Homo-oligomer: A and B are copies of this chain.
């Protein structure tokens, strides 16, 4: 068990990655098992061997996989001790570049499926929820460390999440990165304000309060 997997990806991995990509791009219902088999150069036999729960199990695993990958991406921008305003700026800029480079196809690995299955498949809904919460947890942690009080850190994390997800939706739909750039500027400013960065002087009252809590 747990074989070494040196050179090429295992069949299982290929299936999960192909699923994640197809689900993200065309949605859950819009992706056929046949397409997954073809795209992963595997077979029905292999797919149902590794995922006896069928398409839905594959959906859950793909959401977890995409969620995990994206969480690492968030962590790569919001590193420990990094300036959260700079990180926010970079994160949105990076997102805009990726979205544009993939022809407005790849944005959030979860959102498309999450909306589709939110009241259709409870296991998948939960997997999506856990993915989202794991991203929020990273942001909350960094924002707390940067001086926000925990409740405020949660709020700002949620605001940032909403901004980027809404921007992804609008960007993919109108085929322009403008929304990501606008949301990025707004979020960087909001994070700066919440963390007590100068910019606008009297905005600091709330942030100063926060910094007293976490010295």
Nearest CB of B to A203, in Å: 5
Is A2 part of the contact surface with B, judged by Cβ < 8 Å?
no
Contacts of A125 in B (CB 8 A): 173, 175
Q: Is the CB of A173 within 8 A of B128?
A: yes
Cα A159 to Cα B165 in complex, Å, equals 11
Chain A 185-207, CB within 8 Å of chain B: the 1/0 string?
11000100000000011110000
Q: Which A residues between 75 and 127 are near B, CB-CB below 8 angstroms?
A: 103-105, 111-112, 114-116, 118-120, 125
Residue A30, interface by CB 8 Å: yes
Give which listed residue, B120, B155, B167, B203, contacts A186 with CB less than 8 A. Answer: B155
A169 touches B119 (CB 8 A): no
Known: A111-B115, A200-B202. A163 touches B163 (CB 8 A): yes
A116 touches B27 (CB 8 A): yes
Residues in chain B near residue A170, CB distance under 8 A: 132, 158, 161-162, 165
The quantity of this chain's copies bound in the complex is 2
Q: Is the CB of B166 within 8 A of A161?
A: yes
Contacts of A26 in B (CB 8 A): 29, 116, 120
Which of the residues B115, B129, B159 comes within 8 Å of A27, measured between beta carbons? Answer: B115
A56 within 8 A of B: no
* A18 in contact (CB, < 8 A): no
A28 within 8 A of B: yes
Residue of A29, A178, A202 ringed by the most chain B CB atoms within 10 A: A29
